[in-house]
């Protein structure tokens, strides 16, 4: 069957996540299988505006499935948010004969896709974010690797913190979403998990849980804090959520917490098997969408199945925490009382 497009571009945008390279590889290999030319676009939408592109083939993506980060680099583009910037990007597409674009990233990347599509370019988005905060998909590329990176770091930290009978406050990524903190909290047996989706009270949700754990003969307390756990703008101007929680523990309970901010270490490293396979399946599906004449689609992972949905509908799906994980965490923590 003939393909609806003859040449496509592929880019990564926003924060990088482990598995993006696997998705790029799948896009290139599937396109080649379909007889479609592929143009690699460096540095996201900025690269499309400036024409920072190159032709991709099998050699371009050899031995990258196991590499973290993105060989296409990534950047956020203020210029692309303007009509003038979008027209420059469209001009690049017309000059090079790019009929469709596969963009790998988060909801900001997808909004960029919609802007481009208004000028007649077919677009498909692939969710790639370690926060797993895209409402239309149950899973986004990089989440499992990032979670396991955090879990390994916290397990190592626990060994030394238990030896010294100390309180650990670990800040994980998640400015507007607590999925990573919730998942990691369950996996590490945390004393407390604080996320932006839930309002929390320091006395009830932190101090009393630490007291309950101490009364049950625990001498080490693990507090997992999403970086966006404090929603107040003024508080967010301070050194960070982890440091703020540690300060409150110190003042209220008289113990000296040790704060660890995992930061961008969670983004790095080789993707694990789940992210490699999921990224490959999503990259394949994205090309199939364009080859079949579809546009304005987001590739989704729902119930173990890869599918696609309208991009505007996808962006309208609100983000929420995994309800079953939320209940499990509450039972695990609540049993200390």
Q: Which sequence positions are flagged as catalytic?
A: 131
Separation between Cα atoms, residue 244 and residue 34, nearest integer Å: 53
DSSP state of 203: I
Q: How far apart are CA 239 and CA 151, in angstroms?
A: 23
Q: Are 174 and 181 in contact (CB under 8 A)?
A: yes
Question: Are 298 and 110 a contacting pair, CB within 8 Å?
Answer: yes
Residue with tokens 């960070």: 240
Euclidean distance between CA atoms 252 and 106, whole angstroms: 39
List all residues 6 or more positions away from 281 whose beta carbon is below 8 Å from its beta carbon: 26, 306
Measured CA to CA, the distance from residue 49 to residue 155 in angstroms comes to: 44
The answer to whether 52 and 41 are in contact (CB under 8 A) is yes
Distances (CA, A) of 124 to 104, 182, 241, 263, 292: 9, 30, 35, 30, 12
Cα(27)–Cα(5) distance, rounded to whole angstroms?
Answer: 14
- 3-state secondary structure labels for all residues of 231-288: CCHHHHCCCCHHHHHHHHHHHHHCCCCEEEECHHHHCCCCCCHHHHHHHHHHHHHHHH
Sign of CA dihedral 178, 180, 185, 186: positive
Phi/psi at 273 (5° precision): -60, -40
**Whole-angstrom distance, CA of residue 184 vs CA of residue 93:** 42
**Cα(262)–Cα(146) distance, rounded to whole angstroms?**
11
């Amino acid at each position: 069957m003939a393909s609806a497009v003859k040449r496509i571009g592929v880019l990564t945008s926003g924060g990088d996540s482990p598995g993006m390279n696997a998705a790029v590889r799948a896009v290139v290999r599937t396109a080649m299988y379909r007889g479609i030319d592929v143009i690699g676009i460096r540095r996201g939408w900025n690269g499309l505006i400036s024409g920072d592109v190159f032709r991709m083939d099998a050699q371009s993506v050899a031995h990258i499935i196991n590499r973290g980060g993105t060989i296409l680099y990534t950047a956020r583009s203020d210029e692309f948010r303007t009509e003038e910037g979008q027209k420059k990007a469209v001009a690049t597409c017309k000059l090079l004969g790019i009929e469709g674009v596969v963009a790998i990233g988060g909801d900001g990347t997808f909004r960029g896709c919609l802007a481009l599509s208004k000028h007649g370019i077919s677009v498909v988005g692939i969710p790639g974010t370690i926060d797993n905060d895209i409402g239309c998909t149950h899973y986004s590329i990089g989440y499992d690797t990032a979670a396991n990176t955090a879990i390994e770091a916290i397990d190592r930290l626990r060994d030394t913190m238990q030896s010294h009978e100390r309180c650990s406050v670990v800040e994980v990524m998640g400015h507007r979403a607590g999925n990573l903190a919730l998942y990691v909290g369950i996996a590490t047996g945390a004393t407390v998990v604080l996320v932006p989706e839930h309002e929390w009270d320091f006395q009830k949700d932190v101090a009393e849980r630490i007291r309950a754990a101490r009364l049950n003969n625990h001498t080490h307390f693990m507090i997992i804090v999403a970086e966006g756990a404090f929603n107040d703008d003024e508080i967010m101007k301070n050194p960070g959520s982890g440091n703020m929680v540690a300060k409150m523990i110190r003042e209220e309970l008289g113990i000296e917490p040790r704060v660890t901010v995992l930061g961008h270490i969670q983004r790095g490293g080789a993707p694990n098997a789940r992210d490699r396979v999921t990224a490959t399946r999503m990259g394949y599906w994205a090309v199939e969408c364009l080859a079949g004449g579809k546009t304005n689609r987001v590739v989704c992972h729902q119930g173990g199945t890869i599918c696609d949905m309208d991009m505007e509908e996808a962006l309208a799906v609100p983000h929420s925490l995994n309800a079953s994980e939320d209940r499990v965490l509450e039972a695990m923590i609540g049993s200390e009382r």
